[in-house]
A = this chain, B = another copy of it.
Amino acid sequence: MSSERLIYLPLGGAGEIGMNAYVYGYGPVDAERLILVDLGVTFSDMDGSPGVDLIFPDVSWLHENKDRLDAVFITHGHEDHIGAIGHYWEKLGVPVYARAFTANLARHKMADRGQPEEAVRTVSAWPEMTEAGPFRVGFLPISHSIPESAGLVIDSPAGRVIHSGDFKLDETPVVGEPFDPDLWADVSKGGVKALICDSTNVFSDHPGRSEASVGPEIEALVSAAPNMVVATTFASNVARVKTLAEAGERAGRSICLMGRAMRRMIEAAITTGVLQNFPKVISPEDAASVPRENLMLLVTGSQGERRAASAQLARGKYNGITLKEGDLFLFSSKTIPGNERGVIRIINQFSEMGVDVVDDSTGKYHVSGHANRPDLKRLHDIVNPHMVIPNHGEHRHLREHAKLAADAGRASIVAVNGTMLDLSGSAPSIAGFVETGRTYLDGAVQIGALDGIVRDRIRMALNGHVVVTVILDEDDEPLGEAWCELKGLPEMGRSDAPLLDVLEEDLTQFLGRAKAKTLSDDDKLEGELRRIARNTCRDEIGKKPEVTVIVSRLS
């Protein structure tokens, strides 16, 4: 038995916020039986991954060790924990376990990608346990900004591990189970080997505020609004959507949900019983005929997404509704870093319409779904584990969280994606490193982040693209002149002649004087033409573009 070990291996989410994927294993070295916790995505941006639709963790290692994998467990339904399930299930081929609401969302994800919905199995909360190889796994309810979030109790012959999942300590969460410190203490009392714990808010020094605290503020705001009220939040924050809807209802307003995600989430929450007594909603068609002072829209697009309802309302009309001077638009949400530009664009568009925008800058209309520093300390104390392994966070968050644990005398370590830890002993030790990274969903195709494809796109965006075409006859003699096509480049350069003309002249001159040895050698010829094109552009327009050379030989 001494050669068996308990391992932990983050493949995504450790060293970043997003695309969570954590492997646990137990058994003989390099033959451990494995389970996967969460399988999320992260979102692309123009700076690093233009044109990319979604970003996944690279699960090659898991795929190679697929025969050792017994199950996937999903802690909750946020995209960064569940979003890759439909895309990757085929590669893994094992059952996916989740609680009812999360399972409902996971089945949608499977169906969207043509995968079997029945692979997703609904489990009940603790004390139910699911067996998976040497593991027994239970879902321990914990509060978060989505219903039915759960920490996982992971038992193996090496002892009990608790994986917090994303969480906050909210004893009045409006929707879903309140955080129950007695339950968590009870589950932990036999001794917990390791707490693998959410780190995203470790730099927030004040205790987290309850979801219930925003209700009165929102109600006051909505009841005082003289005209139409529109509010946005994350669709998955069902508690917030309920709070907003109830504030509207109490103010005598009809409630209308707009945006596909908003309707799907509320439907899933009602279907699975996590949401009760949601105010009656009207359709967008009916909404158009309700007097604006009696209407409240709850819309998608809190992050300024260009196609979401909020952005469309900001650009003009959506579902027959147009906002007007004196209407109120509420961001009951925070802006995720990187999304500022999109959100600010919307706010200014509303400003131009005369719409009054209220955001979370006062802290009154939004609370975070993650545990702040004092909450993390409190959970450490309740669970009282031998070690704390910070997960879900950038390096700075993991490091700070590890320090927090160490300050209280608990063993801790910073383990980023690809770091395999051995949790068998009294402190975590590094068991090895596994190659990890990111995979991009690009249109219909998965590409590697380091394939060079996206790098080429970024270069074309920064430098423009010149295509040089040359035709050579059977004797390797240039047939006519070189000619060029420009894309993303200015027409005129320094010499006040069209850049195209200058380029073609320089290239054609080169062809005239080029030696037979160069003209007969594709690589050499291409290299020379590329060099000349880049130098001419540098002289003419002060930048060196990407150059594609096409040499056609009539032979």
The answer to whether B445 and A493 have CB atoms under 8 Å apart is: yes
Question: Is A112 an interface residue, CB under 8 A from the partner?
Answer: no
Residue A453 CB within 8 A of the other chain: yes
Cα A483 to Cα B454 with chains together (Å): 22
Distance between A218 CB and nearest chain B CB, rounded to angstroms: 19
Q: Are A444 and B541 in contact (CB under 8 A)?
A: yes
A469 sits at the interface (CB 8 A):
yes
Quick one: which of A116-133 are within 8 Å of B by CB?
none
| Alpha-carbon distance A182/B546, docked complex (angstroms) | 60
Query: In the complex, what residue of chain B is closest to A487 when comparing beta carbons?
Result: B456
The answer on a CB contact under 8 Å between B548 and A357 is no
> Does A67 lie at the interface of the complex (its beta carbon under 8 Å from any beta carbon of B)?
no
Task: Name the contact of A487 in the complex, choosing from B338, B395, B465 (C-beta under 8 A).
Answer: B465
| Residue in B closest to A440 when the chains form the complex, CB atoms | B490
Q: Is A181 an interface residue (CB 8 A)?
A: no
B465/A465 in contact, CB under 8 A: yes
Contact of A489 among B45, B337, B453, B464 (CB under 8 A): B453
Q: Cβ of A451: which chain B residues have Cβ within 8 Å of it? A: 490
Q: How far apart are A274's CB and chain B's nearest CB, in angstroms?
A: 34
Contacts of A480 in B (CB 8 A): 552, 554
Please, how many angstroms separate the alpha-carbon atoms of A483 and B467 in the complex?
Answer: 14
Chain A 450-489 per-residue mask, 1 if CB under 8 angstroms from chain B, else 0: 0101101110111111010101000000011001010111
Chain B residues near A337: list those with CB within 8 A. 340-341, 344
CB-nearest residue of chain B to A47: B46
Please classify the interface of chain A as helix (H, G, I), strand (E, B), loop, or mixed, using the class held by over half of its residues.
mixed
A467 proximity list for chain B (CB < 8 A): 467, 485, 548, 550
Instruction: Tell me whether A352 is interfacial, beta carbon within 8 Å.
Output: yes
- A289 interface residue per 8 A CB criterion: no
**A50 — nearest CB in chain B belongs to which residue?**
B461
Chain multiplicity (copies): 2
A492 within 8 Å of B (CB atoms): yes
A451 to B486, CA, bound (A): 14
Closest Cβ of chain B to A393, distance in Å, is 10
Query: Does A396 touch B at the CB level, under 8 Å?
Result: yes
Q: Is A494 an interface residue (CB 8 A)?
A: yes
Contact of A140 with B by CB under 8 A: no
A443 contacts chain B at the CB level, 8 A cutoff: yes
Given A453-B489, A489-B453, A542-B443, CB of A203 within 8 Å of CB of B461: no
Q: Say whether A426 faces chain B, with CB atoms less than 8 Å apart.
A: no
A277 proximity list for chain B (CB < 8 A): none
Establish whether residues B541 and A445, one from each chain, have CB atoms under 8 Å apart when the complex forms: yes
Give A334-358 interface residues, CB cut-off 8 Å to B: 337-338, 340-341, 344, 347-348, 350-352, 354, 357
Cross-chain contact B469 with A550 (CB below 8 angstroms): yes
Complex contacts, A263 vs chain B, CB 8 Å: none
Distance between A415 CB and nearest chain B CB, rounded to angstroms = 13
Q: Return 17 A-B CB contacts under 8 Å, by A number.
A: A45-B47, A51-B461, A337-B340, A337-B341, A344-B394, A357-B396, A442-B490, A443-B541, A443-B542, A444-B540, A444-B542, A445-B493, A453-B489, A458-B461, A467-B467, A467-B485, A480-B552
Interface residues of A, Cβ cutoff 8 Å to B: 15, 45-47, 50-51, 203, 337-338, 340-341, 344, 347-348, 350-352, 354, 357, 361, 394-396, 399, 442-445, 447, 451, 453-454, 456-458, 460-465, 467, 469, 471, 479-480, 483, 485, 487-490, 492-494, 540-543, 546, 548, 550, 552, 554
